[in-house]
Chains A and B, each alone.
Chain A
Amino acid sequence: MNGGSDFGFLNEMGRAAAVLFVLQCFFIIPIVYLHGYIERKFAGDLQARVGPNRVGPAGALQGLADAIKLMQKGRPGELGRAEVFWFSCQIASLHLALAALPVAKELLLSDPDLGILIPLWGFAVLSVNAMMAGSARGRLQGVLFSVRTATQATLGLMPAVFVICSVAVHAGGFSWQAVLDAQGAFPFSWSLFANPFLFVGFFVFIVAGMIILSLPPFASSWGDSDLQRGQAGVAGVGMAIMAVIRMQGRLIWSVMVASLFLGGWRLPGDSHGAFWGLQMMVVGVKALFILLIISVIGAVMPRIRVDHVNELSWRVLGPVSLICLIGSALWSAGGALL
């Protein structure tokens, strides 16, 4: 681990646990909660309805009320062994992604030479686990859910990897440190505007993320009609766990977008030495912005069928991301020669 800080009395495992605790308590949970609230209010406004307005001031405690309600639903121990196992794997894979997530310099547990690909690995594991959890339900709906999840994730990962490579080619390295060093605090110095190929790649990456995570309008496996939200047989605590895992996955993807394209934690001046809380706040605001864009797209668009999603990944996003990679490489090579 090369996070660069020295916590002294804590060993490596203890430090990792402390960082994950800080990330969960001061970054993930607050932003997930805040996003859930803003999304519901915003979607309510967009859809000519009120949105949360009863629990707490301006409905701010609605998420808490929902969580308590879900916890009370269902019988204790209703989850099967297989589901408990796969849920545990999902949580573990998300924390694997968290370990290589550039929220703040001090909180980056692992940043090897291929560090920017580690969260992707976490998402791949997440998708496999969702697939296995679906199959474990022993119902046709679960099988269809798992197959759709797996195909979407597989086909969505390909353009995502190409776009990440495009950014890495521009930055000159596959570590988060290299990617963030290549960017500045202000928009004109972000990778987003570094060249036209990365500008296109930014949108490809967002759409690919939505496909991998099965977010609306690409939520064919989680559609609430034919498969009953893909969670037939899972209710109460299990449903709450699945919802939290999905929300966390969405946030992790948004942090990746913010770091790859929007300057990440960079602040004016010597941001690498800035207080980690400030860096975390900057990344959080950018991630929240991305999350809200994703939410608006999901609220407005009708759901797209799984074969159309796969076609989009394979025939559109794949070739476009490959062009982005080649174009970005040529652009960087041209810049270096000039």
Chain B
Amino acid sequence: MNSDPGMESDIAPPWGVEKLATDRSSLVLGPYHSSLPGLMQLALDLDGEIVVSARVETGFAHRGIEKVFENHSWTAGIAVADRVDPEGAISCELAYCLAVERLMGVPASPRSQVIRTMVSELSRISSHLGFIARLARAAGASTLFHYVQRDRERFLDLFELLAGSRFSLNFLRFGGVGAEVSDGLIERILEVCAAMKHRFKEYNDIFSYNHGFLSRATGTATLSLEAARDYGLTGPTARASGFGIDVRKWSPYAAYGAMDFDIPMAEAGAGDVHARYMIRIREIVQSMEIVKQCADGLPSGSSEGMRAVKRAFVPKGEAWSRVESGRGMLSCHVISDGGERPKRVRFRPAGRAALDVLPLVLAGSYIEDLPIILASMDLSLAEIDR
């Protein structure tokens, strides 16, 4: 424990007679720590159990993913994109494919557009369930943690049926998707979604409206609408603060333009841990509705695209795309020199802004709430460090 006797507390006593001077202490967590969302370092200045300020250091999980793209063919880049954010692999694939398709001038077929939309929503559900599981674990709700993990397994099973793997799907292809979607699989997807709807009562009974969780999560680490906007936050974390930005509505891609759906939004002034949790519950419901619409309106035709093309050549130029991943807006910038490999591929993950706003969110919080705050920010160090 380090302390600085010369530093006085900023917290003035309410009675105003004598200022209670307490030494501050500093605590450095990480890069390996059970309460952190991944490999990162968090240096905290504490006044008792209250966090006065926080500094974040990242880079421990840097794998040089963007450099790896430059050493592989355009097609192999789809599998590399999976590794940017393993939990939201399909969003990374989609952002990359959209940018490359824009360069090549190869539009995806209507059927593959709908399949992409459906798989993206399944990925969003899986990502949000992962969020709930992490938050439950951080809050000490071990029963809900296991319930959510059980339910998430069903969605990972669907990915396995669809693409042969559970996380790194490598499912999309330029202009299409990597495998045909059978009627049996569609039926199975709808079954899983229907079963999932009944789970929310369990979640709400044992966790969402549990007094213990409510008292901890309500009003904790509140992020204002202005702060969310100023820091460039996107996704459910921003929408929990009332900042309603969603690429699916704002700049529709795949088949989102044809879907009828609303974006769940918290009231302005919410933005606390509970709001960030509830917005994801509501988004799961909305995503299941989109999946149902996709299943009902799946057009016939081919979804093959450039499935058989092993070595694609992309015309010289650059393109940019953006998609709404489970964590927010994910954009991809691709530069081609006309060869068989990308010259440069760059991702802009949603988690970066969430990480930048972390010191603001943590200031004034109890150190005991640190795990649930970090879990509520839905950080993925894999995509941030890349």
The residue among A43, A228, A303 with the most chain B CB atoms within 10 A of its own CB is A303
Given contact pairs A139-B1, A140-B25, A226-B35, A305 touches B143 in the complex (Cβ within 8 A)? no
Number of interface residues of B (CB under 8 A): 34
Q: Are B141 and A301 interface neighbours, CB within 8 A? A: yes
Interface residues of B in 14-48 (CB under 8 A from A): 25, 27, 33-35, 46
Closest to A49 in B: B146
Contacting residues, chain A, for B147 (C-beta < 8 A) = 47-48
Q: Are A302 and B146 interface neighbours, CB within 8 A? A: no
**Which segment of B155-163, B350-358, B368-376 sits at the interface?**
B368-376
Q: Are B139 and A228 interface neighbours, CB within 8 A? A: no
Given B25, B213, B371, which contacts A225 in the complex, CB threshold below 8 Å? Answer: B371
**B142 interfacial by beta-carbon distance below 8 Å:** yes
**A306 interfacial by beta-carbon distance below 8 Å:** yes
Given B34, B137, B206, B367, which contacts A144 in the complex, CB threshold below 8 Å? Answer: B367
**A304 interfacial by beta-carbon distance below 8 Å:** yes
- Minimum CB–CB distance from A298 to chain B (whole Å) comes to 9
Closest to B25 in A: A140
Q: Are B146 and A300 interface neighbours, CB within 8 A? A: no
**B167 interfacial by beta-carbon distance below 8 Å:** no
Closest to A225 in B: B371
Contacting residues, chain B, for A48 (C-beta < 8 A) = 146-147, 150
**A220 interfacial by beta-carbon distance below 8 Å:** yes
Given B34, B49, B141, B368, which contacts A302 in the complex, CB threshold below 8 Å? Answer: B141
Given B34, B139, B150, B367, which contacts A303 in the complex, CB threshold below 8 Å? Answer: B139
Contacting residues, chain B, for A73 (C-beta < 8 A) = none
Interface residues of B in 84-103 (CB under 8 A from A): none
Contacting residues, chain A, for B33 (C-beta < 8 A) = 228
- Minimum CB–CB distance from B139 to chain A (whole Å) comes to 4
Q: Are A303 and B212 interface neighbours, CB within 8 A? A: yes
| Distance in angstroms between the alpha carbons of A308 and B212 in the assembled complex | 9
Closest to B140 in A: A303
| Distance in angstroms between the alpha carbons of A139 and B216 in the assembled complex | 26
**B265 interfacial by beta-carbon distance below 8 Å:** no
- Minimum CB–CB distance from A252 to chain B (whole Å) comes to 24
Interface 1/0s, chain B 304-329, versus A by CB < 8 A?
00000000000000000000000000
| Distance in angstroms between the alpha carbons of A300 and B367 in the assembled complex | 23
**A318 interfacial by beta-carbon distance below 8 Å:** no
**A223 interfacial by beta-carbon distance below 8 Å:** yes
**A114 interfacial by beta-carbon distance below 8 Å:** no
**A216 interfacial by beta-carbon distance below 8 Å:** yes
Contacting residues, chain B, for A141 (C-beta < 8 A) = 27
| Distance in angstroms between the alpha carbons of A305 and B138 in the assembled complex | 12
Given B46, B137, B368, which contacts A305 in the complex, CB threshold below 8 Å? Answer: B368
Closest to A44 in B: B146
Interface residues of A in 131-170 (CB under 8 A from B): 138-141, 143-144
**A299 interfacial by beta-carbon distance below 8 Å:** yes
**B366 interfacial by beta-carbon distance below 8 Å:** yes
Given contact pairs A47-B147, A302-B210, A217 touches B27 in the complex (Cβ within 8 A)? no
Contacting residues, chain A, for B207 (C-beta < 8 A) = 302
Given contact pairs A48-B150, A305-B366, A140 touches B1 in the complex (Cβ within 8 A)? yes
Given contact pairs A47-B147, A299-B142, A308 touches B215 in the complex (Cβ within 8 A)? yes
- Minimum CB–CB distance from A183 to chain B (whole Å) comes to 34
Q: Are B34 and A224 interface neighbours, CB within 8 A? A: yes
Given A217, A226, A301, which contacts B371 in the complex, CB threshold below 8 Å? Answer: A226
| Distance in angstroms between the alpha carbons of A303 and B216 in the assembled complex | 9
| Distance in angstroms between the alpha carbons of A299 and B46 in the assembled complex | 31
Q: Are B206 and A300 interface neighbours, CB within 8 A? A: yes
**B119 interfacial by beta-carbon distance below 8 Å:** no
Closest to B207 in A: A302
Given contact pairs A226-B35, A302-B212, A305-B216, A219 touches B150 in the complex (Cβ within 8 A)? no
| Distance in angstroms between the alpha carbons of A216 and B141 in the assembled complex | 10
Q: Are B212 and A304 interface neighbours, CB within 8 A? A: yes
**B136 interfacial by beta-carbon distance below 8 Å:** yes
- Minimum CB–CB distance from B36 to chain A (whole Å) comes to 9
Closest to A221 in B: B368
- Minimum CB–CB distance from B338 to chain A (whole Å) comes to 51
| Distance in angstroms between the alpha carbons of A301 and B145 in the assembled complex | 11
- Minimum CB–CB distance from B42 to chain A (whole Å) comes to 11
| Distance in angstroms between the alpha carbons of A48 and B210 in the assembled complex | 20
**A1 interfacial by beta-carbon distance below 8 Å:** no
Interface residues of B in 200-214 (CB under 8 A from A): 206-207, 210, 212-213
Q: Are B140 and A217 interface neighbours, CB within 8 A? A: yes
Given B27, B137, B141, which contacts A140 in the complex, CB threshold below 8 Å? Answer: B27
Closest to A142 in B: B1
Q: Are B143 and A47 interface neighbours, CB within 8 A? A: yes
Given B27, B140, B143, B212, which contacts A223 in the complex, CB threshold below 8 Å? Answer: B140
Contacting residues, chain A, for B139 (C-beta < 8 A) = 302-303
Interface residues of B in 111-158 (CB under 8 A from A): 136-147, 150
5 contacts between A and B (CB under 8 A): A223-B368, A223-B371, A225-B35, A302-B213, A305-B215
Beyond the given A47-B147, A307-B366, please list 12 additional residue pairs across the A-B interface where CB-CB is below 8 A.
A47-B142, A47-B146, A48-B146, A223-B140, A226-B371, A301-B140, A302-B136, A302-B144, A302-B212, A303-B212, A305-B366, A308-B216
What are the nearest 3 A-B pairs in CB distance?
A303-B140, A225-B371, A47-B146
Residues of B within 8 A of A (CB): 1, 25, 27, 33-35, 46, 49, 136-147, 150, 206-207, 210, 212-213, 215-216, 366-371
